[in-house]
């Protein structure tokens, strides 16, 4: 499956980030905790030009906690301030605010020593579509201050949001790079819904997801869809098995592949197949990323 997607408004967003960076003290880079590498825009490092950064790994409730612990250690060892959060339930949001103040502590002290009145810390949140930015902003602001949706690309434009007396946040739309040079990255983004389903063959996507899960989380797959045996089965065969288990049958006893594909993708994205991480630090180190 060859995935290419670069809506025109995303080029505009890159310019927006670059142009407004001079107003920012700290950049909050929002990633998907299940796919920290695939959900990272590789242009961000160049765009933020060395600004202090806090990496917030969202949707941590959907990720494998053991793998998330490995990622936290990996980021720490590589000098990145990071925190795992759940924007829906609010887990980690207060700690994130504290981390922002820690990052800016020295600068704030210098300002005080010069007799300057401290102003709010100005932050910018950046992330790819459907990584949960709008839900994150609503949660951190304590009110529904940004439009939310379960489809990528809902947010547009630019707005300042007052978090509290100490923090202000500049929202920007999600940005995604124009070409997926690594097929695995494109697939991970499609699995998690960062790429619109209406431009993808969802049957092929669901089959690929089942094939991946059979390799890395076989017990989850067996438990949710009662699929056995998994060994030596192609993704399409697994999808057919799941379809029969769920009663996705049409006339003539044929499998309704569109229906079971929608079910598989929906249940994965909603965490009903279990807490799953599709990338680990060990794999990234091995691949040299």
- Residue numbering of the annotated binding site: 58-61, 130-135, 174
Pairing of strands 53-58, 121-126: unpaired
Rounded alpha-carbon distances, angstroms, from residue 284 to 42, 84, 100, 140: 14, 19, 28, 31
**Three-state DSSP state, 95:** helix
**Three-state DSSP state, 148:** coil
Specify binding-site residues for GTP: 58-61, 130-135, 174
* Separation CA 228–CA 79 (nearest Å): 44
Q: Give the number of other Cβ atoms within 10 Å of residue 205's Cβ.
A: 21
Q: Give the number of other Cβ atoms within 10 Å of residue 249's Cβ.
A: 14
Tokens describing residue 162: 């007052």
**Three-state DSSP state, 250:** strand
Count of alpha carbons within 13 angstroms of residue 275, beta-carbon side: 11
* Separation CA 262–CA 283 (nearest Å): 29
């Amino acid at each position: 499956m060859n995935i290419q997607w670069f809506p025109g408004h995303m080029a505009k967003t890159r310019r927006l980030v670059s142009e407004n960076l001079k107003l920012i003290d700290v950049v909050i880079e929002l990633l998907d905790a299940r796919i920290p590498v695939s959900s990272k825009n590789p242009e961000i490092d160049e765009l933020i030009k060395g600004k202090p950064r806090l990496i917030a790994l969202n949707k941590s409730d959907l990720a494998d906690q053991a793998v998330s612990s490995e990622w936290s250690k990996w980021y720490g060892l590589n000098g990145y301030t990071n925190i795992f959060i759940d924007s829906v339930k609010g887990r980690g949001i207060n700690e994130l605010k504290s981390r922002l103040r820690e990052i800016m502590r020295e600068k704030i002290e210098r300002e005080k020593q010069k007799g300057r009145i401290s102003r709010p810390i100005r932050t910018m949140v950046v992330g790819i579509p459907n990584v949960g930015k709008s839900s994150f902003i609503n949660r951190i602001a304590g009110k529904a201050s940004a439009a939310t949706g379960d489809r990528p690309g809902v947010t547009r434009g630019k707005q300042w949001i007052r978090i509290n007396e100490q923090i202000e946040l500049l929202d920007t739309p999600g940005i995604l790079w124009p070409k997926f040079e690594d097929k695995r990255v494109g697939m991970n983004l499609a699995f998690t819904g960062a790429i619109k389903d209406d431009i993808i063959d969802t049957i092929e996507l669901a089959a690929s997801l089942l094939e991946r899960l059979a390799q890395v989380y076989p017990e989850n797959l067996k438990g949710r869809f009662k699929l056995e045996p998994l060994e030596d089965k192609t993704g399409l065969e697994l999808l057919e098995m799941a379809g029969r288990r769920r009663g996705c049958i049409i006339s003539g006893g044929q499998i309704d592949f569109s229906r079971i594909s929608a079910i598989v993708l929906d249940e994965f994205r909603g965490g009903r197949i279990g807490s799953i991480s599709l990338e680990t630090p060990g794999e990234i180190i091995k691949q040299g990323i």
